[in-house]
Amino acid sequence: MESALLSASTILPLQNKVVCGVLRKWQSSFYGKGVCNGVLVKRSISYAGRRSPLTVSSVLGRKVKKVKKETIVPDPDYRIPVVLLGAAGTLIYTDNLLAAAPIGLLGLLLLFQTTRVRFVFDDEALEVKVGEQLEESGENVFVGGKNRWKYSTFVNWELWWPNFPVLVYFKETQTKPEGQVHFFPVIFNGKQLYDVMVERCGSSKTSSPK
């Protein structure tokens, strides 16, 4: 009987040593459970000197590092201002100056904006910035607030029209709870814009470049 107890007492320290060799340090145990370096392990009772299996049931105190998404800035696209200026030139050639004036002015405005305005898609939000140094664009002139909207607040978005994208629309609840609609001319690469919008904001239900 005494030899059996001695034998059992040598088995348990041996098991603890084996466990510590795998998990580095046995800190505490209670009713067949133990915590070793923040990992909760479960040990079943052993019989006849056989080693009981260890099951990792949960991880405590371990921080999972979030991998940040890269910042994406779609390339500028001059097709819309070029088309508008071409249309204005055609109207001037046909002596239709009344129609040519607003179309030409719009074309010039969009040409200027294409050289300076950028959509910046960072890890958590879409932001409108200006210039090669991507400076802040200031407050939104129509609805107020910063020109930065978190993807998590997007309700819906669309790209019109897929084959020749002219407008991008999205609705967000960050500006106001009932939702705020935004329209921007697509003065960026339409395919790049669509792909990053799908990745960061979810799929658009009706639009997709061909």
Does residue 183 surpass a pLDDT of 80? Answer: yes
On average, the pLDDT of the chain sits at 78
Q: What is the pLDDT of residues 97-134, one digit of tens each?
A: 999 999 999 999 999 999 999 999 999 999 999 999 99
Measure the CA–CA gap between 20 and 26, rounded to whole angstroms: 6
Q: How far apart are the first and last CA of the chain?
A: 83
User: Exposed, middle or buried, 5 (CB in 10 Å: 0-12/13-18/19+)?
Assistant: exposed
pLDDT at 140: 86
* pLDDT bucket at 3, cuts 50 / 70 / 90: very low
pLDDT at 208: 61
pLDDT at 63: 61
Q: Where does 88-166 show beta strands of DSSP type E?
A: 117-121, 125-130, 135-136, 148-150, 154-160
Q: What is the percent of the chain with per-residue pLDDT over 90, rounded to a whole number?
A: 57
Enter the tokens of residue 5: 């107890």
* pLDDT bucket at 11, cuts 50 / 70 / 90: very low
Of residues 120, 109, 116, the one with CA closest to residue 80: 109
Q: What is the pLDDT of residues 159-169, one digit of tens each?
A: 998 788 999 99
Measure the CA–CA gap between 122 and 125, rounded to whole angstroms: 6
- Walk me through the domains of the chain, giving residue ranges and CATH numbers: 2-59 (no CATH), 79-201 (2.30.29)
